[in-house]
A = this chain, B = another copy of it.
């Protein structure tokens, strides 16, 4: 049904429309792509492509623009992988070098991704499932208020307030020692397993406080840090569309909703490879006029979190996909090396 030439024409229409932002006609096509056939032939092919739903006309006497289905075919079968330029590779390295902690890594990544793709970038905080507890500390702020601090093997530091209830310093010290002895080296799931028994085993005088602290530990350990996302490159929305209230506002609103972004990334990515959701394929209705290019990142098969890019359906998919893939891989390696 779709012979080679029709596919070539579809590819040409997508490429041209993405770069020119104007409906593309048969004449321009033969001129710019040396098709070796006449415009009339191209028109016939375009009629078929339109019939099949790959392209459409904004109005009767205009050129054609790709539909979501057209972009989909382009991404699946027609897009040639466009390798990153040397400058871009270097940009990635210099951008990430010198990151000091997880926050910093995430912030830099989002900036980087936004800059390379010139679109809106979204990066989810990594969850390191293999992380184990390295150290536990209870700091006294006042007789009543204390602070539980948890350090894991990746160097991530978490904190949670604890009600000390005027417990004497010796009790706190005792508890600190016992908990450290019991918890260090455990993974989150192991902590959950052992928690109850741990409290029961405590001496009577330490147990009330111990219960409070352990519940705080559980809170921290089970709270998924990857429920946080960071957004960057919002100014790039300006290039997004001519019409404002209908297309830009919903996107801006979505970008402020962490929950929406998480669902978006989760449903789009989730694997180690780059995934694309085009227009209506998108799980979130207000973003149905946008495309999402996302990928999980991590090391080997261990996926920690997702990152991606939101842009107009009319985007340069090959470049964007290449950029997302490259950044995801680099960040994965970078985090693995610590």
| A interface with B by C-beta (< 8 Å) | 100-101, 134-135, 137, 139-141, 145, 147, 149, 151, 153, 155, 157, 159-161, 232-235, 237-238, 244-245, 248-249, 252-253, 255-256, 338
Contact = CB atoms under 8 A, between A and B. Distances in A.
A252 B134 CA distance: 41
A256 B256 CA distance: 14
A137 B134 CA distance: 12
Contacts of A237: 252
Given A151-B149, A155-B161, A161-B155, A252 B232 contact: no
A255 B255 CA distance: 14
| Secondary structure type dominating chain A contacts | mixed
A19 to B, nearest CB: 20
Given A249-B235, A252-B238, A256-B232, A147 B155 contact: yes
Nearest to A145: B338
Nearest to A147: B155
Closest 3 CB pairs of A and B: A235-B252, A135-B139, A238-B249
A206 B129 CA distance: 35
